[in-house]
Amino acid sequence: MKAFTITKNDAGQRVDKFLIKMLKTMPKSLVYKSLRKKRIKVNGKRAQENLILNEGDLLEAYINDEFFETPKETHAFLRLTSAPLNIVYEDENLLVVHKPQGLSVHADETATPDTLINRIQRYLYDKGEYRPDEDMTFAPALAHRIDRNTTGLVLAAKNAETLRILCEKIRDREIKKTYLCITKGHLPKEKDTLRAFHRKDEKQKLAQIFDTPAPGTKEMITGYRVIKRYRAHDLAEVKLITGRTHQIRAHMAHIGHPLLGDGKYGHLGKNPLLTRQALLAYKLRFEFTDDGGILSYLNGKEIAISHPVLVPPHIEAKL
């Protein structure tokens, strides 16, 4: 028998969902069988599968110990030692970090433990703010993601309530994201709002863009303004009105101005100036339509990289 006291981060969910998350190696059928056989008790009483857990509840599980085997060594973040983390903003609920170009936000096919989320979890673990042995189903998590070869700001939640609010606000477009990019050629207008229709090709991992609605498409809206015109390129500030996969890269390529260094949506050619897209997520602004719950203090706040750099000076001189 194992006993657990439900923490704030684990509260608010059904007991069956909690058990499925906690007992990762246990088949779901056995989880529900244990509930039917009265092998799960909360505060000394049999737990129905739809029981909502509260902070401080005592959960007792009369289940074989093998399903609880989760040694600390299984946490990928512990395999990191002193991986750098560029923190732009931090408080008791969240982090805003500047992800470097080339670093994946989550684990990918390379299976490397060196990802942005693992760096964040290691940082919070070393600070004593992340205790995986206490929070059984929650771990610090990213509220959104950016491409591996895009650099810039990413939001990470330290607790479950913050993660829920951030995801909700991003979905409702109450967290505004602003990017800088360098395009090939000069954009047709100094300032414009682009509209098109987007469809993600899962097999090719590409965004397909259409001028008119097509089966499986969603509307895509991208605003931009030119900040600086070089000889053969533009530096532009871009605001995402919608949030589609590869939106900025695909939309700019669709109008004939792919991002500098973007081999997926553009053509690098011989001796390219860059081999990774010139795209930087440099500013976040919180514009809540309600009080924002425990994050109400963020309403109206803007977080930005103070001195954004897209390309080094020797490359900028060639633009």
Query: How far is residue 215 from each of residues 6, 60, 170, 208, 210, measured CA to CA in Å?
Result: 46, 50, 25, 11, 10
Q: Percent of the chain, pLDDT > 70?
A: 97
Domains of the chain: 2-68 (3.10.290.10), 72-171 (3.30.2350.10), 175-288+302-316 (3.30.2350.10)
**H or E element in which residue 167 lies:** helix 160-171
> What is the pLDDT confidence band of residue 136, given thresholds at 50, 70 and 90?
confident
Give residue-wise pLDDT tens across range 244-272.
999 999 999 999 999 999 999 998 888 88
Confidence check: pLDDT of 96 > 60: yes
**H or E element in which residue 28 lies:** helix 28-36
Between CA 68 and CA 90 the distance in angstroms is: 33
Strand partners, 60: 3, 41
> What is the pLDDT confidence band of residue 310, given thresholds at 50, 70 and 90?
very high
Phi, psi angle pair for 306, to nearest 5°: -70, -40
Strand partners, 180: 237, 280
pLDDT, position 115: 93
pLDDT, position 225: 97
pLDDT, position 79: 81
> Which two structure tokens, joined as six digits, stand for 82?
């002193």
Between CA 82 and CA 118 the distance in angstroms is: 11
Cα radius of gyration (the chain): 23
Give the pLDDT mean for 35-63.
91
> Which carries the bigger pLDDT value, residue 108 or residue 197?
197
| Residue length of the chain | 319
Strand partners, 201: 206
> What is the pLDDT confidence band of residue 81, given thresholds at 50, 70 and 90?
confident
Is-contact 261 277, C-beta < 8 A?
A: yes
pLDDT, position 135: 80
Using a CB cutoff of 8 Å and minimum separation of 24, what contacts does 266-269 make?
Answer: 266/184
Is-contact 124 158, C-beta < 8 A?
A: yes
Between CA 251 and CA 183 the distance in angstroms is: 11
Catalytic annotation present for 290: no
Confidence check: pLDDT of 66 > 90: no
pLDDT, position 22: 82
pLDDT, position 263: 92
Half-sphere exposure of 297 (CA within 13 A, CB side): 6
Residue-wise over 45-59: b if at least 16 C-beta within 10 A, else e?
eebeeebebeeebeb
Confidence check: pLDDT of 70 > 60: no
Give residue-wise pLDDT tens across range 270-290.
888 898 999 999 999 999 998
Give the pLDDT mean for 59-72.
74
Burial of 163 (0-12, 13-18, 19+ CB in 10 A): buried
46: amino acid identity, one letter: R
pLDDT, position 235: 97
Is-contact 121 141, C-beta < 8 A?
A: no
Between CA 24 and CA 8 the distance in angstroms is: 21
Per the residue annotation, which of 10, 16, 57, 147 is the catalytic one? Answer: 147
65: amino acid identity, one letter: D
Average confidence score pLDDT of the chain: 91
Burial of 217 (0-12, 13-18, 19+ CB in 10 A): middle
Give the pLDDT mean for 117-125.
93
Is-contact 211 197, C-beta < 8 A?
A: yes
pLDDT, position 69: 58
Give residue-wise pLDDT tens across range 139-176.
999 999 999 999 999 999 999 999 999 999 999 999 99
Lowest mean pLDDT among 60-69, 95-104, 126-135: 60-69
Query: How far is residue 69 from each of residues 73, 132, 208, 255, measured CA to CA in Å?
Result: 11, 13, 44, 54
